[in-house]
Structure 1
Amino acid sequence: MEGKTCCVTGHRDLPQKEINHVKTALRREIDSAVADGFTRFMSGFADGVDQYFAEIVLEKKKTNPALELIAVIPYQKRLDSLMAKGRTYEMLEACADVVVMQEEYHPSVYSHRNRYMVEHSDRVIAVYDGREKGGTVRTIRFAHQMKKVLREIPVGEIVLPGQPIAKRK
């Protein structure tokens, strides 16, 4: 792969009141990545953060044709369902490449997709609300294991053990 690659991980179920904050922060992180020489961006195309990220990269590609978006889809039927929706069909058509990890669904397809993206990226942008379970925290842990640059966008109420709940400012 030519150039530097950046991927995203994040939650599908962000509270409505957080969405504008997340999109603004993603835009800022993507701008920072571009300024740092990143030209390839990978998204797993899940609902929520992945699709916001893809939309922003494609928006920026209009003024910077050097940017590429790579869709990393966990299994074929997921790609089929995304292609059946107008909005995601258009985004997928604008991708430089679409990688389908596996033909059939298996419980591990999402973790395989996330590992692939981290392994093939130089930077990981994580939209994270502090949950101790789920794909986002596992992807963050894997990025740490792989010693990848991790840029975290905190959302919602961050709860630290033994601490009162602190709201993001």
Structure 2
Amino acid sequence: MKEKTCCFTGHRDIPKKLYPKIKKRLKHEIKRLISQGVLYFGCGGAQGFDTLCAQMVLKLKRKYPDIKLILVLPFPGQADLWQADDVRRYESIKRWADKVVMVCEQYQPGCYHKRNRHLVDNSGHCICYLTRASGGTACTVAYAQRQGCSVTNLAGQ
């Protein structure tokens, strides 16, 4: 199953001017993986890159109805402190996702780390947007590489 699954990880803060370029690369990479038999796309539901990825998978489902969006969330209140527009976007993505996995019943230290590990542990592929050598995205990408995932960094293309 791992060979048919791709996870996403990336920064929450993407410069708006880069969105069109990243979206184009993301669409290309997802379509490439679909052509190789990948059907499941796991996303952490965070703002920024996660949201972009979830929206792209949902858009591509129109052309590729067999693909599935799986949201792997750290805890139920992840979006409680977000701005209203971001919450509406998040709730829409949750509504249209094929599956929602909650890794913790409530916030606890390490719940984001646990979510990231879950995403990688169930994937054979990882598409990321990584521009910094430290932080959660860097740790997740390093873990994915150690686990043998093929990793594609959209920031490096």
The question of a shared fold, defined as TM-score above 0.5 by the shorter chain, is answered with yes
Question: What is the distance in 2 between the residues matched to 1:37 and 1:136?
Answer: 26
Distance in 2, Cα, partners of 1:3 & 1:141: 18
Q: Note if 1:148 corresponds to 2:149.
A: yes
Q: Aligned partners of 1:24 and 1:67: how far apart in 2?
A: 19
Larger RCO, structure (CA 8 Å, separation 6 or more):
2
Match of 1:132, SS state, is coil
Q: 1:81 to 1:92 in 2, by over 3 A?
A: farther
Deviation at 1:69, TM superposition (A): 0.2
The AA in structure 2 aligned to 1:74 is P
Cα distance per residue 1:9-33 (max 9 Å; x no partner): 0000011221111111111111111
The reply to whether residue 34 of structure 1 matches residue 34 of structure 2 is yes
Separation in structure 1 between the aligned mates of residue 45 and residue 13 of structure 2, nearest angstrom: 14
**SS of corresponding position for 2:154:** strand
Matches of 1:92 and 1:137 in 2, distance apart? 25
**Contact map agreement 1:3 1:39 (CA 8 A) in 2:** no
Residue in 2 that maps onto 1:6? 6
Instruction: Determine which structure has more spread, i.e. the larger CA radius of gyration.
Output: 1
Q: How many residues align?
A: 154
Q: Alpha carbons of 1:63 and 1:81: their partners in 2 closer, same or farther (altered >3 Å)? A: farther
Whether 2:117 is the aligned partner of 1:115: answer: yes
| Partner Cα separation in structure 2 for residue 24 and residue 107 of structure 1 | 35
Q: 2:127 aligns to what?
A: 125
Identical aligned residues as a percent = 34
Separation in 1 of the partners of 2:79 and 2:122?
Answer: 20
Q: TM-score, normalised by structure 1?
A: 0.84
Answering whether residue 92 of structure 2 is matched by residue 90 of structure 1, we say: yes
Query: As a proportion of its length, which structure holds more strand?
Result: 1
Alpha-carbon offset, residue 132 of structure 1: 2.0
- Alpha-carbon shift at residue 2 of structure 1 (Å): 8.6
Structure 1: any 5+ residue segments left out of the alignment? 156-167
* 1:76 counterpart residue number: 76
Gaps of 5+ in 2: none
In structure 2, the residue corresponding to 1:151 is in which secondary structure? strand
CA distance 1:2–1:132, shift in 2 (3 Å): closer
The separation in 2 between residues aligned to 1:146 and 1:140, in whole angstroms, is: 10
For residue 165 of structure 1, what is the aligned residue in structure 2?
Answer: none
CA distance in 2: counterparts of 1:6 and 1:69, whole angstroms: 10
